Amino acid sequence: MSAMVELSIAVLAGSLVVVVAILATRFGSRFGLPSLLIFLAIGAAIGDSGLGVRFDNFELANVIGFTALVLILAEGGLTTRWTEIRGAIGIGALLATVGIVVSIAVVAVITHFALGLDWWIAVLLGAVCSPTDSAAVFSVLRRLPLPQRLRSVLEAESGLNDAPTVLVVSMVSLIAAGSATLESSGGVLGTIALGVFELVVGVACGGLVGWLGIRLLRWVNLPSSGLQSIATLALPCLAFGVASVLHTSGFAAVYAAAVLIGNARLPFRTATRSFVEGVGWIAQIGLFVMLGLLASPARITPHVIMIALVAGAALTFLARPLSVLVCTIWFRLGWREDIFLSWAGLRGAVPIILATVPLVEGVPNALLLFDVVFVFVIIFTLLQAPTLPWLARRLGLADTEPDEVDLEVSSLDEISADLLQLRVAPDSRLAGVEVGELRLPRNVAISLVIRGDAMFAPGAAEVIRAGDTLLIVSPAALRGAVENRLRLVSRHGRLAGWRRAARRTLRGDGTP
């Protein structure tokens, strides 16, 4: 078979897998199934126990997996608003460091005494399973109508919990070298301290690369949205490379750089966001399908399932709640938020990819560890992810009112303004409101209304209808206030904010 024919078959198969994965995601969302499980199932279905495609190159899988995680983290950071996440950075950082240490300790103790695992293997299992997964968190939690701070805590944690990677790599190196004792190389505590140190330095490295990258993009002023999108995604990847070469936390660096760049005033932001979201989805599909290919149902024995259940139960029902309690005790979070944070510690690709590190290094029983982690991820993701909406409602954390308006933003850099395109949804209370009743900030203009095939400049008395598209020009500095006002009216109608203003007037600290 010629190289061109092989390439054609590979492109055909890859494209077909992507199309099937996208369609499966659309149908799976109706049943509350996380996309990662759907992609894993597709990979397993075409693997050696399904259609017979054999893939057992764990070294290649390790490289591809880490590359995909870099892209997923970059997408998550670039689409995260700093104003929403800054209040959650403290808790997220503690969960990504102190919380990880607590989880590792609990899982290691329970699996050592309950299952008789060697101490180093027990600690390794805890380190592999403890980190939450950015792909799972970004894809599942962003669809839930949660309080912004709660969602931001989980996103920050998943973006920063790279410390276990250092721990896993260090322990695997020791085990492979035959020197895995609690006293070697500073022991577990010394290795954890090294991981935390590299996490902090990685964040600083990512921040520096992001700061320099913003200035570079402003100076170059690229003429094309396509080039701008590629450059914007490349800079966080550059941060990962720089941090890794300096032996610091590459994942923390890529997330820090992405958040910084994603919140900078750069041109073509809407096009860039769409581009990186598409790249993130491709990375997720490729990552989880590949991990599904690595799995083999023939290796899933009752012994593997038992270890996975014990380790998963220890982590989910004991270690995670304890780590949340330890990390949030100094912050003003209620017991409802603590319960939700405990249950929402989703695992996914990160534990499975970390489990390939021992396989690459030839650690004894590494294949058993991989299978245990794979089963653990499937069982507890099926248990946790579909129940998160129900738990949020039971705890009174779910917001049943519409929180978002259908809004797209483009930059008008020449006049330091933004063009907002608002589509009025059928259930939005914007419908029936007059343009003047929106009470948008001064110097903000609704320049055009698109209604069906008609386009016109509206007057103050023009009534907004469901299905309308409004083009709004706003000074860049007022964009946030405009978005907040539109969301408020979409929720509560024309009198949104009136009672609050009336109370301020009666108190003498506001104007009618």
Separation between Cα atoms, residue 234 and residue 400, nearest integer Å: 38
Q: What is the CATH number of the domain that holds 168?
A: 1.20.1530.20
CA neighbor of 496 nearest in space, from 487, 505, 504? 487
Residue 505 has pLDDT above 50, yes or no: no
Cβ proximity of 275 and 229 under 8 Å? yes
Residue 366 within a domain: yes
Q: What is the DSSP-derived secondary structure letter of residue 267?
A: S
Q: Is residue 265 in some structural domain?
A: yes
387 and 425 together in one domain: no
Helix (H) or strand (E) holding 76: helix 58-78
Higher pLDDT, 483 or 195: 483
- Do the beta carbons of residue 157 and residue 89 sit within 8 Å? no
In 3-state terms, what secondary structure has residue 14?
helix
Query: What per-residue confidence (pLDDT) applies to 414?
Result: 62
Number of folded domains that form the chain: 3
Range of the domain at 441: 406-507
Domain boundary residue among 394, 416, 431?
394
Q: Which residue has the tokens 């590949």?
A: 290
User: What's the CA gap between 323 and 107, in Å, rounded?
Assistant: 12
Is residue 401 included in any domain, yes or no?
A: no
Distance of alpha carbon 121 from alpha carbon 171, whole angstroms: 9
Mark whether 293 and 422 lie in a shared domain.
no
In the prediction, which pLDDT does 182 show?
44
What integer pLDDT is reported at residue 507 of this predicted model?
Answer: 40
The answer to whether residue 436 scores a pLDDT higher than 90 is: no
Task: Answer yes or no: do 370 and 227 share one domain.
Answer: yes
- CA of 343: how far to CAs of 123, 245, 261, 504, in Å? 22, 36, 31, 40
Q: How many Cα atoms within 13 Å fall on the side-chain side of residue 158?
A: 34
Which of 52-66, 136-150, 161-175 is modeled with the greatest confidence?
52-66
Taking 70 as the threshold, does the pLDDT of residue 92 lie above it? yes
CB 414 within 8 A of CB 440: no
Q: Which two tokens stand for residue 379?
A: 């069982």
Say which CATH number the domain at 411 has: 3.30.70.1450
User: Tens digit of pLDDT for each residue in 337-396?
Assistant: 889 989 988 887 788 888 888 887 777 778 888 889 889 988 988 888 888 888 888 888
Please enumerate in sequence order all residues whose Cβ is within 8 A of that of 305, keeping only pairs 6 or more positions apart, or say none: 375
What residues contact 211, with CB distance under 8 A and at least 6 apart?
Answer: 260
Q: Would you state the structure tokens that stand for residue 136, as one six-digit string? A: 């799972």
Name which of 37-46, 218-227, 442-451, 487-496 the model is least confident about. Answer: 487-496
**CB atoms near residue 149 (< 10 Å):** 16
Cβ pair 394, 340 in contact under 8 A: no
Claim to verify: residue 452 and residue 493 sit in the same structural domain: yes
Mean pLDDT of 116-123: 82
Which three-class secondary structure state does DSSP give residue 169?
helix
Residue 399, domain member (yes or no): no
What is the C-alpha separation between 230 and 189, in angstroms, rounded?
40
Burial class of residue 281 in the structure, from the number of CB atoms within 10 Å of its CB (0-12 exposed, 13-18 middle, 19+ buried): buried
User: Using 50, 70 and 90 to split pLDDT, how confident is the model at 232?
Assistant: very high
Are 325 and 423 part of one and the same domain?
no
- How would you list the strands of the sheet with 469-475, edge to edge? 406-412, 417-423, 469-475, 445-451, 454-456
| Within a domain: 233 | yes
CA dist., res. 94 & res. 59, Å (int) = 32
My answer on whether 315 and 353 are in the same domain is yes
d(CA 295, CA 378): 12
Separation of alpha carbons 2 and 339, rounded Å: 58
The whole-angstrom separation of Cα 449 and Cα 470 is 5
Does residue 287 sit within a domain?
yes
Residues 72 and 161 in one domain: yes
Q: What is the pLDDT of residue 155?
A: 79
Q: Which residues contact 508 (CB under 8 A, 6 or more apart)?
A: none
Percent of the chain clearing pLDDT 90 (strictly above) = 11
Q: Which of 200, 172, 221 is nearest to 413 (CA)?
A: 221
Residue from 404, 400, 428, 69 nearest 255 by CA: 69
Instruction: Tell me: pLDDT of 511 over 60.
Output: no
- How confident is the model over 260-268, as a mean pLDDT? 83
CA distance 464 to 469: 9
Are 45 and 89 in a shared domain?
A: yes
Closest to 437 measured CA to CA, from 361, 392, 497: 497
Residue 400 covered by a domain: no
Q: For the CA atoms of the chain, what is the radius of gyration?
A: 25
Least confident of 59-68, 267-276, 366-375: 267-276
Residues 436 and 380 in one domain: no
Looking at the fold, whether 37 and 26 belong to one and the same domain comes out as no
